[in-house]
Amino acid sequence: MNSPLTGKVALVAGATRGAGRQIAVQLGAAGATVYATGRTTRDRRSEMDRPETIEETAELVTAAGGTGIAVAVDHLDPEQVRELVERIDAEQGRLDVLVNDIWGADPLITWEKPVWEQPLDAGFRTLRLAVDTHIITSHFALPLLIRNPGGLVVEIGDGTKAYNDTTYRLSVFYDLAKVSVNRLGFTQAHELAPHGGTAVALTPGWLRSEAMLEHFGVTEANWRDGATTDPHFVMSETPAFVGRAVVALAADPDRARWNGQSLDSGGLAQEYGFTDLDGTRPHWSRYHDEVVAPGKPADDTGYR
């Protein structure tokens, strides 16, 4: 089916840009009604201070074939999240997919400094944005999601559990944030299972987000030129790739087999057969383990 999610309702919390935006778009392309939330609108910007807006995301969802609905929400504000879920219930009467992709802490991170040299205010703000927002959103959204069996929760993070368990993430606060997101997928899996729901943690590989493209001074049209700065950029993937991973999970009637697991976009592509926009299946985690970690020269042959 070209529209396997027709009639399904999704909330992508943190859909302004990057992975969240394309998760929303790909859900729309599969026929879903998608509520796209975030703090940056055409009227105001969040502390990320970037130009992407939730209205643009909703328009992209609709253009892809779904129904996109933009709602300005600060997911640290319980009352705003409560009102969001009440609106979804009133308008749709159901929620089938919750994607917790809220982040927005990039400007706050101090990299490669020990905890005693970290600014505490920024660090604790990072944890609130990365962890509290997800818990607040689940607290209010899950009673609606479990109303019908088969609901799916996807916690979007950075790094699989196996990677984060053994890798120092260059900042105590970033490290804690990303480990916590993986654990939220695990804990919610236990809580949802008796209600017929599924929860997972999901990470993209090296994501070619809007900010990452700007960092490398390239566009999506010439992204491979970024490999002159870092040769391993040849293994990067578009945000649509992880979006298609979410769609594959949501459309799988046997998705409960993944309950509680930490997954990655490349691994799910091997399982479900979806591709990135260029028709390839980049498998970043395998590439990292076999090429980056051993210090081998960059070469994506056999990994896409």
Nearest by Cα to 151 from 96, 94, 192: 96
Residue 219 lies in a domain: no
- Give the domain range for residue 132: 9-212+239-288
Residue 204 lies in a domain: yes
Amino acid identity, position 240: A
- Over residues 125-129, the mean pLDDT reads 97
pLDDT at 47: 87
| Beta carbons within 8 Å of 199's beta carbon, 6+ residues apart | 152, 153, 154, 155, 185, 186, 188, 189, 191, 192, 259, 260
Residue 227 lies in a domain: no
pLDDT at 3 over 80: yes
The Cα 158–Cα 18 span in angstroms is 13
Residue 150 lies in a domain: yes
pLDDT at 64: 98
Which helix (H) or strand (E) segment holds residue 9: the answer is strand 9-13
Residue 222 lies in a domain: no
Structure tokens given for 151 = 């609901």
126 within 8 A of 71, measured Cβ to Cβ:
no
Structure tokens given for 187 = 């804990």
Amino acid identity, position 151: G
CATH of the domain at 65: 3.40.50.720
Per-residue pLDDT band for 1 (boundaries 50, 70, 90) equals low
Residue 232 lies in a domain: no
Question: Which DSSP letter does residue 237 get?
Answer: B
pLDDT at 85: 98
pTM over 0.85: yes
pLDDT at 134: 98
Question: Which DSSP letter does residue 33 get?
Answer: E
- Over residues 119-134, the mean pLDDT reads 97
Residue 110 lies in a domain: yes
The three-class DSSP label of residue 189 is helix
- Over residues 252-275, the mean pLDDT reads 98
The Cα 243–Cα 21 span in angstroms is 8
Residue 134 lies in a domain: yes
Which helix (H) or strand (E) segment holds residue 296: the answer is none
pLDDT tens by residue, 202-259: 999 999 999 999 999 999 999 999 999 999 999 999 999 999 999 999 999 999 999 9
pLDDT tens by residue, 74-123: 999 999 999 999 999 999 999 999 999 999 999 999 999 999 999 999 99
Please spell the DSSP secondary structure of 120-151, one letter per residue.
HHHHHHHHIIIIIHHHHHHHHHHHHHTTSTT-
Structure tokens given for 16 = 């302004």
Long-range contacts from 106-110, C-beta under 8 angstroms, 24+ separation: 106/48, 106/211, 107/47, 107/48, 107/49, 108/47, 109/171, 109/173, 109/174, 110/171
For tokens 């949802």, what's the residue?
192
Question: How many domains does the chain divide into?
Answer: 1
The Cα 126–Cα 109 span in angstroms is 7
Q: Give the percent of the chain with pLDDT over 70.
A: 100
pLDDT at 78: 98
- Over residues 168-189, the mean pLDDT reads 97
